[in-house]
Structure 1
Amino acid sequence: MPNPDNSRDEAIKSLDERADALAARTAKITPDYGSKAAGYGYRLMAVLLGGAFVGIGFGAVVDVLAHTAPFGMIVGVLAGFGMSIWMAVRSAQRMSAEAASEWGPVTDLPPDDEDD
């Protein structure tokens, strides 16, 4: 005849293991929003700086080829900066749409009852 305490302890241990496995399977994984948002910020900064530097490069090439000392570089910087702003706005719209589809709608913060 089997020992009833041993079979009961084994059954409880088995149930605990199955409950832990179920909890591990159903646990909701919270995404890391901070690192993704920082990546978006760095990407926008790279677009803005890259456009200005490309404009400087094209302006310098025009200055060397056309012998128009500062004017090619000035126009190149302005055109590159304008293009980089346009590209940054488009990228921000695309990133915002991607974040909204991935993270869901934006929720408001609760009202702050404490006044300083």
Structure 2
Amino acid sequence: MSMPPESREEAIKRLNESASVLEAKTAREINHELAGQAAASEAWRIIADLLGGVFVGLALGFVFDRVAGTNPWGLIGGVLLGFAVSIWMAWRTAQRITAKAEASGVEPKSVPFDDEEED
């Protein structure tokens, strides 16, 4: 069964609608190379938060031990406090990244599970 012939204006209107839909789909596509670089930079930021908090706590504990003469308790307390602060900072960064990803409306692609790496 063939379709009835449509007028030139109807055909142009249909093509314009199809072009608009296609343009909307392609406009939402992201550049995967740039997205990968952004993800890597955010991962390095979280690692820097984790290490930086511990090292700052270590340094502050060392200084406190030298000033107060409380070896090794200031150092231990500084490391524990620095670790707690670094975990909080990493959590806050992860929450910010998640909120930014949800606001962009882009669905994350799942990574397939790879059984070949197990021995």
TM category (shorter chain) comes to 0.5 to 0.7
Q: How many residues align?
A: 88
Aligned match of 2:43? 41
1:26-105 aligned at under 5 Å gives the runs 28=27, 30-31=30-31, 32-102=34-104, 104-105=106-107
Whether the 8 Å CA contact 1:63–1:72 is kept in 2: the answer is yes
| Residues 37 and 107 of structure 1: CA distance in aligned 2, closer, same or farther (over 3 Å) | closer
1:21-76 deviation digits (Å, cap 9, x = unpaired): xxxxx775742211011001000000000000000011011101100111100110
Q: TM-score, normalized by length of structure 2?
A: 0.63
Which consecutive segments of 4 or more residues in structure 1 shift more than 4 A?
Answer: 26-29
Cα drift, residue 105 of structure 1: 3.2
Q: TM-score, normalized by length of structure 1?
A: 0.65
1:6-25 aligned at under 5 Å gives the runs none
Which ranges of structure 1 fall in alignment gaps of 5 or more residues? 1-25
Identity of aligned residues (%): 43
Q: How far, CA to CA, are the matches of 1:35 and 1:45 in structure 2? A: 15
Greater shift, 95-104 or 64-73, is seen at: 95-104
Larger Rg: 1
| Residues 106 and 73 of structure 1: CA distance in aligned 2, closer, same or farther (over 3 Å) | same
Q: How far, CA to CA, are the matches of 1:94 and 1:34 in structure 2? A: 17
Greater shift, 72-81 or 97-106, is seen at: 97-106
Structure 2: which amino acid aligns with 1:66? Answer: A
